[in-house]
């Protein structure tokens, strides 16, 4: 007896199963551990464990991060034009993750030597470890477009990835320091090395599971398909500058990430000098990470109800409210700050889910206008605003602290306390107000997006009819 044919989605893609959806998100879960140790402890490891002078480290890392920004469009173009029997996007995950593993471990390996040489080496380790780690993330987002049959499935895949990422963050917050202490036995260098190795190995396994989930969708392309999706440098430039929805989305993400990274990187100052209880920061972060997970669970329903553009507006407004309210009301209150930060983290969950889908929608928009499919390039460019934020948030914080005369060895004056509150809350909050305005101006309303999808269906139908003749 012949086996029944698999149920197909409307565009003839095999229907997504529960297992495939969760497998797609596996990389997001494990990479959250890896990014967590990078964002939270790498600077500390370099200055306090490896003993590299902070000033030397800052200069070296600014250079490497600018290099990372520069090669992102190049690698996005290579991903768009690549062709591999392992899959157009899966191959980037499969080939890149072993390299990431080696260099992430080197990032948390204590070395000795002249400070400048050490700073250069750690900068290179970071560039080829955590800098390169963004690229499998971009491939995962591009793979999402191939796996999903429609915008609803794109939201489903993206929201599940965000949910898994938030679970990973919660586990990171609860487990990392105890693991470092347990494995290191009082030797921080040993503890960081082995925890980084464990997290890096888990990230490889997680992303390989993600690659497996897209195996039947990301197939080896025929030459004519490859030629259709290959872009010249000029076309890549036009994909960005002649694509208003993509430009607005990139600006929103750039503002969002810069503002949030300024906030996150200075939150410790707020707890130390304004709340006067830095130890409570850990509990607040665990609570807000759990809230963020809850937000990611309801994000698809909210987006389906009010639309992606309105969800983006809501997300930016929640960010703004979460930072501006504690600046002017109940200053120094941990319960009120936790409540407000929870609002911001709900906004983060909503935007994490809807922002990626808006990028894919902008690729649909461009294809409907030009006939050029650039989804791989567009989705790979999603990480560019993140890298811009990483590169410039640290200098902005340093300049502002210098401007208010901050001295870690002195108790801040009243004026400096106001300056710290403005740096941590007011400046990022105002940036989010700007992001709200941009979100309101986003060109892709649900009505216009429906027209885009209809135009694409007609275009693909004509192409299929011509090929059949």
User: What structural domains and CATH numbers belong to the chain?
Assistant: 8-230 (1.20.1250), 232-456 (1.20.1250.20)
Predicted pLDDT of residue 10? 41
Question: What is the reported pTM?
Answer: 0.71
Secondary structure letter of residue 345 according to DSSP: H
Q: Dihedrals φ, ψ of 466, to 5°?
A: -65, -40
Number of C-beta neighbours around residue 330 at 10 A: 13
Cβ count near 71 (within 10 Å): 15
CB 342 within 8 A of CB 322: yes
Whether 397 and 265 have beta carbons less than 8 Å apart is answered as yes
The pLDDT value recorded for residue 226 is 47
Q: Quick check: 300 and 356 in contact, CB under 8 A? A: no
Residue 448: the pLDDT is 87
Q: Which tokens go with 223?
A: 């030459």
362 vs 453: CA distance, rounded Å: 11
Rounded Cα distance between 330 and 467, Å, is 67
Burial class of residue 2 (count of CB atoms within 10 Å of its CB; 0-12, 13-18, 19+): exposed
Contact indicator for 24, 214 with CB cutoff of 8 Å: yes
- For residues 61 and 145, what is the distance between their CA atoms, to the nearest angstrom? 33
SS3 (DSSP) at 178? helix
Q: Are 36 and 165 in contact (CB under 8 A)?
A: no
CA atoms lying within 13 Å on the CB side of residue 426:
12
Q: What is the pLDDT of residue 468?
A: 65
The pLDDT of residue 329: 92
CB 11, CB 152: distance < 8 Å: no
How far is the CA of 344 from the CAs of 166, 325, 326, 350, 397, in angstroms? 14, 11, 11, 10, 20
Dist. CA 189–CA 201, nearest whole Å: 18
Place of tokens 């994909």: 239
Q: Output b/e per residue, 103-119; b: 16+ Cβ within 10 A.
A: bbbbbbbbeeeeeeebb
Give me the helix-helix angle, 308-328 and 446-468, nearest 10°. 150
Helices 188-213, 132-147: axis angle to 10 degrees equals 20
Backbone angles phi, psi at 99, to 5 degrees: -65, -45
Q: Is 47 exposed, middle or buried (0-12, 13-18, 19+ CB in 10 A)?
A: middle
Task: Note down pLDDT in tens along the chain; length 469 residues.
Answer: 333 333 334 444 567 788 888 998 898 899 888 888 777 777 777 777 777 765 666 666 666 666 666 656 665 555 555 666 777 778 888 888 999 899 989 989 988 888 878 878 887 888 788 777 777 877 887 788 778 877 778 778 888 888 898 889 888 878 887 888 899 888 888 998 999 999 999 999 999 999 898 888 876 554 444 445 566 777 777 888 888 999 999 999 989 988 988 887 777 778 878 888 877 877 887 888 889 888 888 888 898 899 889 999 999 999 999 999 999 998 888 999 999 999 999 999 899 888 888 888 888 888 888 888 777 777 777 777 777 776 666 667 767 777 787 776 778 888 888 988 998 899 999 999 999 999 999 998 888 888 888 888 888 777 767 766 6
DSSP 8-state assignment for residue 14? B
CA 314 – CA 310 distance, rounded (Å)? 6
């Amino acid at each position: 007896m012949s086996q029944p044919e698999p149920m197909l989605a409307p565009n003839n893609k095999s229907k997504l199963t529960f297992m495939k959806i969760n497998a797609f998100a596996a990389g997001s879960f494990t990479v959250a551990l890896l990014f967590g140790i990078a964002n939270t402890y790498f600077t500390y490891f370099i200055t306090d464990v490896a003993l590299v002078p902070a000033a030397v480290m800052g200069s070296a890392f600014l250079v490497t991060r600018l290099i990372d920004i520069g090669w992102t469009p190049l690698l996005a173009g290579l991903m768009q034009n690549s062709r591999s029997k392992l899959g157009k996007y899966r191959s980037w995950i499969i080939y890149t993750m072993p390299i990431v593993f080696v260099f992430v471990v080197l990032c948390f390996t204590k070395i000795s030597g002249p400070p400048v040489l050490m700073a250069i080496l750690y900068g290179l380790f970071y560039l080829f470890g955590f800098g390169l780690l963004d690229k499998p993330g971009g491939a995962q987002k591009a793979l999402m477009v191939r796996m999903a049959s429609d915008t609803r499935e794109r939201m489903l895949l993206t929201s599940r990835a965000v949910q898994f990422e938030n679970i990973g963050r919660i586990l990171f917050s609860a487990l990392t320091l105890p693991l470092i202490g347990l494995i290191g036995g009082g030797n921080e260098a040993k503890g960081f090395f082995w925890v980084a190795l464990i997290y890096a190995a888990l990230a490889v396994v997680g992303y390989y599971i993600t690659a497996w989930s897209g195996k039947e969708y990301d197939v080896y392309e025929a030459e004519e398909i490859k030629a259709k999706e290959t872009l010249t440098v000029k076309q890549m430039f036009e994909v960005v500058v002649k694509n208003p929805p993509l430009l607005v989305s990139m600006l929103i993400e750039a503002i969002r990430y810069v503002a949030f990274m300024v906030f996150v990187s200075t939150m410790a100052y707020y707890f130390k000098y304004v709340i006067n209880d830095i130890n409570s920061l850990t509990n607040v972060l665990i609570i807000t990470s759990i809230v963020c997970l809850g937000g990611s669970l309801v994000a698809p329903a909210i987006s389906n109800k009010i639309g992606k553009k309105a969800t983006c507006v809501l997300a930016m407004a929640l960010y703004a409210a979460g930072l501006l309210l504690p600046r002017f009301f109940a200053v120094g209150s941990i319960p009120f700050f936790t409540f407000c930060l929870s609002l911001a983290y709900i906004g983060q969950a909503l935007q994490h889910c809807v922002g990626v889908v808006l990028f894919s929608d902008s690729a649909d928009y461009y294809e409907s206008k030009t006939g050029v499919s650039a989804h791989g390039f567009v989705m790979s460019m999603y990480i560019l605003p993140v890298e811009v934020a990483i590169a410039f948030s640290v200098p902005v914080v340093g300049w502002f602290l210098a401007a208010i005369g901050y001295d870690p060895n002195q108790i801040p004056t009243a004026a400096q306390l106001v300056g710290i509150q403005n740096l941590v809350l007011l400046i990022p909050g105002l940036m989010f107000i700007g992001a709200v305005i941009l979100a309101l101006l986003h060109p892709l309303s649900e009505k216009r997006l429906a027209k885009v999808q209809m135009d694409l269906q007609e275009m693909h139908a004509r192409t299929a009819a011509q090929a059949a003749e």
